[in-house]
A and B are shown apart, each in its own frame.
Chain A
Amino acid sequence: MQSKLSDIDLIEQTLAGNQSAYADLVKRHQRFVFTLALRFSKNREDAEEIAQDCFIKAYRALTSYGGQSKFSTWLYTIVYNTAMTFLRKKRIATDSIDDEATFIQVENHESAYDTDNVENKSRSFYLNQAITQLLPDDAIIITLFYKGEQSLEEIAQTLGMEANTVKVKLFRARQRLKDKLERNLKHEVKELI
């Protein structure tokens, strides 16, 4: 019954003082927010910290949510800004996309315990592996587009960019993801032979 309530209904209930309504809202969006945070931090602990921080910030700012955009778009904007601040604080190198050393390290780490069951690995495993090797911006755009049910305009609003820029970025991100995916699969096949 409760799960059928819309985001707006839950927000109204939260603002009326019902904290369990906000817990429902957190449960509804936590997987996606956590995944977005993970795209930035590449580390589960940090991602959990970012995601929690986002929900707390969203709770504090709930009165300022006017309902002009979808709650998810508003929430993802908070996630993006929080993650960017977190990255700046932690000084994570975001230019690692072509960093061969990192790439080799990731590959070796994965292949060290996964070479035996290559056949059992699904394409989704390789896809997730390839996504973790992308730049945070690329990974975010792909995740928002495919899993966030966000249009190009909504993604543009979340990231503070023009819709056309997002379109170009999405195209490039897909190209890079495709390259990474092929590269990883080729590497696994080589290891098998």
Chain B
Amino acid sequence: MNTIEEKLWNYIDGACTPAEQDAIARLIEQDEAYSKKYQELLQLNLEFTAMELDEPSMAFTYNVMETIRAENARQPLKATIDKRIIIGIAIFFVFTILALLVFAFANTHFQPASFDVNIKLPAAIKLPNAASIFTSPVFKWFIVFDVVLALFLSDSYLRRKKTTKQA
């Protein structure tokens, strides 16, 4: 059952049917209680409508746009590299590895008695001496570079993880 106030608010908001509107308008004209309440609610409605909005700080828009700009600046590496290129590179490596494996297995003669693996390489391919590879300065620099790169990548990964957690 609607209270007087509920009916009057619906009337003020224009949320009642034409028949209800006529009935309430008549009640406001004839009934003093309705008329008094209507004036009171009308006054409140005016005050609510005149309610002021709060103002954020002066730098609000600037801060929003700066965050967006910073995000966009970080994005290009991810966004501009076409995924097809990455997939192409991956396919190339997978095929190379597969071809190498197939070649290796095709030219391998297992000798179960001694477990010796004897790979026959074509005459044109000469493998370098393994011992000299691991002791060469180039290899050492390569390892140092790898370690530094691994540290750098793990640091940036942990930083990103931390900022995501904080956000």
Across the interface, A128 reaches (CB within 8 A) one of B5, B51, B68, namely B51
Across the interface, B48 reaches (CB within 8 A) one of A19, A127, A167, A171, namely A127
A-B pairs with beta carbons under 8 A, tally: 77
* Min CB gap A100→B, angstroms: 24
**A19-B69, A174-B44, A175-B5 known; A48 and B56 CB under 8 Å?**
yes
* Min CB gap A193→B, angstroms: 24
Cβ of B56 and Cβ of A30 under 8 Å apart? yes
Docked Cα-Cα span, A177 to B52, in Å, equals 15
**A124-B52, A152-B15, A174-B48 known; A34 and B68 CB under 8 Å?**
no
Across the interface, B57 reaches (CB within 8 A) one of A32, A48, A124, A178, namely A48
As a 0/1 sequence over residues 55 to 66 of chain B, the CB contacts with chain A under 8 angstroms (1 = contact) are: 111001101110
Docked Cα-Cα span, A178 to B44, in Å, equals 8
Size class of the contact patch on chain A = 35 or more
Which residues of the other chain, A, contact B67 by a CB distance below 8 angstroms?
52, 56
Across the interface, B56 reaches (CB within 8 A) one of A22, A34, A59, A181, namely A34
Cβ of A146 and Cβ of B65 under 8 Å apart? no
**A171-B6, A178-B44 known; A26 and B65 CB under 8 Å?**
yes
Binding site for B on A (CB under 8 A): 19, 22-23, 26-27, 30-32, 34-35, 38, 44, 47-48, 51-52, 55-56, 59, 123-124, 127-128, 131, 142-143, 146-147, 152, 167, 171, 174-175, 177-178, 181
Q: Can you list 15 pairs linking A and B with CB atoms under 8 Å apart?
A: A22-B68, A23-B64, A26-B60, A26-B61, A26-B64, A30-B60, A31-B56, A56-B68, A127-B48, A128-B52, A146-B51, A147-B51, A152-B15, A174-B48, A178-B44
